[in-house]
Chains A and B, each alone.
Chain A
Amino acid sequence: MEEAQIYARLGEVFHDVFDDDSIRVAPDLSAKDVDGWDSLTHIRLILTVEKAFKIRFSTAEVGKLQKVGDLVELIKSRV
């Protein structure tokens, strides 16, 4: 899958999970930048990403995620 496609679909996921269409998904985006991105929302985000891209992450992989760019790399390696 092309990186542009991944970002596009990821954008939809973010809008859905945070109920906020104004979020811009950029490689540096992380929890401190978004209101309401707490640990539970983080789980919900991961679960929604898994469903949207039809992939599964391992515990270790999820643990290493710091920012959106990491997530995109992870997705790229899977699709």
Chain B
Amino acid sequence: MNSLYGELQWLPRAPKDFAERLKAASGAGAANGSPGRELQALANYALDLNRLMKLAKVIEKARAGGADLHPLVPFRLAVLSNATVDLLTPALLASGARHGIALEVVQPSYDQVAQEALTPDSKVNSSKPDAVLFAIDFRALPLRLSLGDAETAAATVEGVMGYLQALRNGVKANSSALCIFQTFAPPAETIFGSLDRALPGTMRFLIDAVNRALAENALQSGDVLLDVAGLAETVGLADWHNPLLWNMAKFPFSDQFMPLYADHVARTVAAIRGKSRKALILDLDNTVWGGVIGDDGLEGIKIAQGDATGEAHLAVQRLALDLRQRGVVLAVSSKNTDEVARTPFEKHPEMLLKLDHIAVFQANWNDKATNIQAIAEELSLGLDAMVFLDDNPVERGLVRQLLPQVAVPELPEDPAYYARTLAAAGYFESVAFAAEDLKRAGFYQDNAKRVTLRNRAGGVEAYLASLDMTITFQPFDATGRARIVQLINKSNQYNLTTRRYADPEVEEAENDPEVFTLQVRLADIFGDNGMISVVICRLNGQGEWEIDTWLMSCRVLGRKVEHMVLGEMLRHARSAGIRRLIGTYKPTERNKLVIDHYEKLGFKKVAEDATGMTRWEMDVESANPHEAPMKVVSTGFAVQERSPA
């Protein structure tokens, strides 16, 4: 079974304290302000049927207690079915909250579809629902096989459409409810094989024809279509239909897809209420291309066709462009220097996305929550209209925590599935399409606008503290050498001196007693980032350490790693009797980012030359570096007992 759909894998897994949070939300009740936001937050995890039921109970209790469920928007949905929907009803309720809807489900007695639709004072009609969902499957339809007989087949299809029309008219006559019709998932079994599709009057042929007629009708009638046939096809008819569950309890389809089905109904209701999302904000590195533009350069990033990774990222670009064509606005939020981030858009021949396609282009070193807020303001759209796509779980976590109204899909390890995961999430579900939609993206004057950041998003420090980071310091050793050499040779942006060393030179530094080396690793709650920083200090004739090399992976910028590295350097300098640290900044085309690295760390500038090269000093004794909330592991260092020269 493809678990992306069945397990709603674009949603994060429920946290360990889900049950407690649910209990707390339940205890709050009408007295404690609006539980609506917390209920929506609780719904925004991948919940199985049991959890959906528990959440539904809490929502119902809150509603019964008269609580105001703002900002959830109320919607009354009547569900008519020929099958058992008792387990679906609570799933629908809880899934509604996920999409900002306070759903109320009206469920009449089992298998009373026609009676409920046609009787003026039926339970459904009297409840004056906002919409009626005809959740019927093929078994409820007047279908008769007429193998090879095209005329009778056409009559059968007409009969079915007539039946559905009658149901519709019944509802329309007695309430002003919107009608939501499902397409029909055909049975998995065929009687000929391939011929079932082509020969008139087979079950498959008849159901195909009914679905086509329903689809055509939907656009003209103003009724809403829920493409259950498409959904069943996507996950697989053989998994969708469960003969055991039908036989035992008249379940319309397998329980494993009930959370998915409920989510699709909820999306549809949200779309009816205008709550579909309207903008897609894209991260760049390893999302829209493979690799990091700042380090790998134009030649190194992977977009090219014919390269598996490149193809995967191109698929993301293609999907973004298709979405843009139907009116979704595109924006960029990337941790990069602006000019560097724009280069592939301007110069890479395989880029499908161009700057023209991007309404707002935020590439800077500030946190993404602040940037996304600025993008939303610039587009005059609410945060609840935004979707943010980023391969980095740390960035995803930050935006989810600071801006909970933004939709941030989980992404799998393999970029091959990025496009599919974004599409599966259905953030942009729509029930209507108008010519204006085609032009909407253009209204935002796609000129890749750069917005100045003003109000900083609060809570970044607290989020970083919650990451449980562990930083590990070791001297150079044989095990780390390959990665050390790699970092030394490919780091361009966060690189103070850009000195390139080959394997033998690194080995030399390893063994030289007058050289202090550091390989730095960072792990956090999301996993091990591996080696992310390298430092080489050389003892000079004045009892000082010259910082020969200091580089860091941009992936861990903004987490105060460099402050912790400085702290470790100072600890070792002190025990070795070193009086001063001397740092140098050698400007290159790519390392403007670190022009004030030493200044930020508290060094004093002592020299600058015409090329822009700067020299900095820090007194070891009086130094007081900032610490960050992370656990420090320092291992592998020989005890240093050396007196300064």
Contact = CB atoms under 8 A, between A and B. Distances in A.
A47 B251 CA distance: 12
A16 interface: yes
Contacts of B50: 16-17, 44, 48
Q: For this complex, into which size category does the number of interface residues on chain A fall?
A: 10 to 19
B34 to A, nearest CB: 24
B221 interface: no
Interface in B509-560: none
A48 B87 CA distance: 13
A62 to B, nearest CB: 7
Main secondary structure of the interface of B (DSSP, over half): helix
B191 interface: no
A19 B49 contact: no
B54 interface: yes
Contacts of A59: 244, 247-248
Interface residues of B, number: 15
B562 to A, nearest CB: 46
Given A16-B50, A48-B50, A43 B249 contact: yes
Contacts of B255: 43-44, 47
B84 interface: yes
Interface in A14-67: 16-17, 19, 39-40, 43-44, 47-48, 58-59, 62
Contacts of A43: 87, 245, 248-249, 251, 255
Given A40-B86, A40-B87, A47-B255, A62 B49 contact: no
B84 A44 contact: no
Main secondary structure of the interface of A (DSSP, over half): helix
A60 B566 CA distance: 69
Interface in B43-89: 49-50, 53-54, 57, 84, 86-87
A19 B247 CA distance: 27
A19 B87 contact: no
Contact of B87 (A16, A44, A58): A44
B348 to A, nearest CB: 47
A55 to B, nearest CB: 14
A58 to B, nearest CB: 8
Contacts of A17: 50
B265 to A, nearest CB: 19
Interface in B563-602: none
A19 B57 contact: yes
Contacts of A48: 50
Interface of B: 49-50, 53-54, 57, 84, 86-87, 244-245, 247-249, 251, 255
7 contacts: A40-B87, A43-B245, A43-B249, A47-B49, A58-B244, A59-B247, A59-B248
